[in-house]
Amino acid sequence: MNAFFHLDKGHLHVESVPLRDIAERFKTPCYVYSRAALEASLDEFLNELAGVNALVCYAVKANSNIAVLNVFARRGAGFDIVSGGELKRALAAGADPKKIVFSGVGKSTEEMAFALKTGILCFNVESAPELERLNDVAGSLGLKAPISLRVNPNVDAKTHPYISTGLKENKFGVAYEEAFGIYQRAAALPNIEVTGIDCHIGSQLLDPSPFAEALDKLLSLIDQLAANGITLHHIDLGGGLGIRYQDEDEPTVGSYLQPLLQRLAGRPLKIILEPGRRLVGNAGALLTKADFLKPGEVKNFAIVDAAMNDLARPALYDAWHDIVPVVPRDTAPSIWEIVGPICESGDFLGHNRPLAIEPGDLLAIMSAGAYGMAMSSNYNTRPRAAEVMVDGDQAHLVRRRETVEELLALESLLP
């Protein structure tokens, strides 16, 4: 737990609000975020970057609730988006279009046009054909598209293969060896304005050294381009800084940024960063209720009302999330499998957890602020959970629970 999710008089609180009160008021399952935790994690970046020409563009995909985006926008953050939908969210949250960068390997013509008309800061282009399409779309609108090329520095981020993105075999970005040629092509296109370079090497990185390795490769490319008359104005180092889920040594933002800032000192380059998980992961928890207990000969199952459709990370990556009782009991713990009601054996939230629980007890699945609600689905026709943001002693509903009727309303019978 942390300063924002803490025990007070035997009750788990978010800031000053007992989670039990939130469960009573908003029911379970329910995501709960701490505004102060969101602000504190952004401030870690802003403090390290004080006096530096830099922009933090929060990666919207990690948690795209507009109230979360709004907390960051109010503090001056920009956004890294990967779809037209995320652009609409960012605008609805009060984002400054001039602080939005657009990533993603498959931007559609419509998405490009929308972003061009919005006047975003930069398109992070991921392939040569995307560059051609963007040039055409910009031309048809009489606009010029500011671009950065996502270059694949081919460094090993030493993280889970599903979330490692900077290796040659990944679908993202352009190969380092091909980047120079594509930049030359971009510089020759009439509706393209070459402004920067970007990379994103992976997610949940606990060792900051691959970031510096990637930066060195990008800097040598920047110098090579400059020698050939192509001057870049910004460098975007992506996201990927890891957080503590269990007992990992969480790198400080300083240990990540200082080596990068040292390398960049004296260069007239604006620095853009795209942290996602690091800004929201430990600012959220998934609140759930133990519905049934099924002690067995081999395993004890605690069936809770949250499931893999609410939080996919355990099923998807075998990820660990701490699971803590909201009102801890002082009886002896047993070992539980924490599972959801979905008809899949992979529907678990935690294995072998020593917990003293009774039916009806509330549990908090910790570190669920990133890639939690954002990756949720309606599998098993389960309406998605509510989302609540705590601000001091107030709890605000920032996304109400879906209803089954709303899900059915999108479907129709054959005539």
Ligand X SMILES: *Cc1c(COP(=O)(O)O)cnc(C)c1O
Please say whether the beta carbons of 123 and 131 come within 8 A: no
Beta bridge partners of 304: 290
**Nearest-approach distance from CB 10 to ligand X, in angstroms:** 34
Please say whether the beta carbons of 384 and 373 come within 8 A: yes
Told to check if 103 binds ligand X by CB under 6 A, we report yes
Residues between 203 and 222 that touch ligand X (CB under 6 A)? 203
Tell me how far apart the alpha carbons of residues 110 and 106 are, in angstroms, rounded to a whole number.
Answer: 11
Per CB under 6 A, which region of 218-226, 236-244, 282-290, 383-391 contacts ligand X? 236-244
CA angle 301, 306, 308 (to 5 degrees): 90
**Nearest-approach distance from CB 101 to ligand X, in angstroms:** 9
Task: Judge whether 343 counts as a catalytic residue.
Answer: yes
Among residues 226, 215, 223, which one has the least CA distance to residue 187?
Answer: 226
With CB under 6 A as the contact rule, the residue among 13, 200, 217, 321 that binds ligand X is 200
Nearer to ligand X, 253 or 395 (CB): 253
SS3 142: coil
Beta bridge partners of 7: 12
Per CB under 6 A, which region of 44-52, 188-196, 234-242, 257-265 contacts ligand X? 234-242
The pairing of beta strand 386-391 with beta strand 30-34: parallel
Please say whether the beta carbons of 373 and 63 come within 8 A: yes
**Nearest-approach distance from CB 89 to ligand X, in angstroms:** 15
Per CB under 6 A, which region of 3-11, 55-63, 211-219, 334-342 contacts ligand X? 55-63
Among residues 395, 329, 307, which one has the least CA distance to residue 22?
Answer: 395
**Nearest-approach distance from CB 334 to ligand X, in angstroms:** 35
Per CB under 6 A, which region of 36-44, 216-224, 237-245, 264-272 contacts ligand X? 237-245
Nearer to ligand X, 29 or 275 (CB): 275
Nearer to ligand X, 64 or 203 (CB): 203
Tell me how far apart the alpha carbons of residues 49 and 257 are, in angstroms, rounded to a whole number.
Answer: 8
Told to check if 62 binds ligand X by CB under 6 A, we report yes
Please say whether the beta carbons of 218 and 235 come within 8 A: yes
Number of other CB atoms surrounding residue 161 within 10 Å: 11
Number of other CB atoms surrounding residue 238 within 10 Å: 28
Count how many residues are written for the chain.
415
**Nearest-approach distance from CB 303 to ligand X, in angstroms:** 30
Nearer to ligand X, 280 or 308 (CB): 280
Residues between 264 and 323 that touch ligand X (CB under 6 A)? 274-278
Residues between 73 and 102 that touch ligand X (CB under 6 A)? 80
Among residues 219, 197, 199, which one has the least CA distance to residue 265?
Answer: 219
Site string for ligand X, 324-363 (x = CB under 6 A): ----------------------------------------
**Nearest-approach distance from CB 166 to ligand X, in angstroms:** 10
Among residues 214, 268, 238, which one has the least CA distance to residue 101?
Answer: 238
Nearer to ligand X, 59 or 90 (CB): 59
With CB under 6 A as the contact rule, the residue among 13, 35, 61, 353 that binds ligand X is 61
Number of other CB atoms surrounding residue 108 within 10 Å: 13
For binding to ligand X (CB under 6 A), which residues are involved?
A: 59, 61-62, 80, 103, 200, 203, 238-240, 274-278
Q: Which residues are catalytic?
A: 343
